[in-house]
């Protein structure tokens, strides 16, 4: 299923976008997210150590992603714990779960599911305005590009 969520302009309603993304999920998947500065959440010591040398923006993205991922996992009954990065920076999910974390300039979201219900799941959030329009034909159908052109005009 390919259902893009277009972000137009510099001010975005993160709650509305996260709500729209959640509508696209298969049964058993949980999504949590919003801006890059979630309240009421901290990194575990192991996570802090894994990201200790990161620049402030990367730390912000990492922190938001882990907080939203834990909130989503909690909704599935998975106990809180560190979500460490693997060799390619992708999250190492708790046993029995799978998921994905993505972010752009103003938004971060995590989607998770239990492996008994979902073999794997992914999410990708892009700041389309920052992307080269040469990429547009690779990520959008002709009708989506026409729709986006109408929005921009």
Confidence (pLDDT) at 6: 46
pLDDT at 10: 47
* DSSP sequence for 3-46: ------SS---HHHHHHHHHHTPPTT-EEEEESSS-SS----HH
**81-110 residue pLDDT tens:** 999 999 888 999 999 999 999 998 888 999
pLDDT of residue 76: 97
Percentage with pLDDT > 70 across the chain: 80
Structural domain for 26, as ranges: 14-127
The model's pTM is 0.78
Assign 133 a pLDDT band (cuts: 50, 70, 90).
Answer: low
Q: What is the CATH number of the domain that holds 119?
A: 3.90.470.20
* DSSP classification of residue 52: T
Does residue 48 lie within any of the structural domains? yes
Q: Residues 69, 94: contact at Cβ < 8 Å?
A: no
Structural domains of the chain, count: 1
User: Is it the case that residue 4 has pLDDT exceeding 60?
Assistant: no
How far is residue 140 from each of residues 8, 59, 109, 152, measured CA to CA in Å? 15, 30, 21, 15
The confidence score (pLDDT) of residue 2 equals 38
Burial bucket for residue 77 (CB in 10 Å: 0-12, 13-18, 19+): exposed
């Amino acid at each position: 299923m390919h259902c893009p969520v277009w972000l137009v302009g510099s001010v975005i309603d993160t709650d509305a976008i996260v709500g729209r993304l959640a509508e696209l999920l298969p049964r058993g998947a949980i999504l949590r997210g919003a801006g890059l500065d979630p309240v009421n959440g901290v990194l575990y010591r192991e996570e802090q150590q894994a990201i200790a040398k990161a620049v402030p923006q990367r730390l912000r993205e990492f922190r938001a992603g882990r907080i939203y991922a834990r909130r989503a996992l909690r909704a599935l009954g998975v106990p809180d714990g560190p979500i460490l990065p693997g060799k390619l920076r992708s999250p190492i999910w708790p046993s029995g779960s799978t998921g994905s974390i993505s972010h752009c300039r103003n938004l971060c979201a995590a989607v998770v599911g239990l492996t008994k219900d979902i073999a794997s799941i992914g999410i990708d959030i892009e700041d389309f305005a920052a992307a080269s329009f040469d990429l547009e034909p690779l990520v959008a159908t002709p009708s989506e590009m026409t729709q986006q052109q109408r929005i921009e005009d």
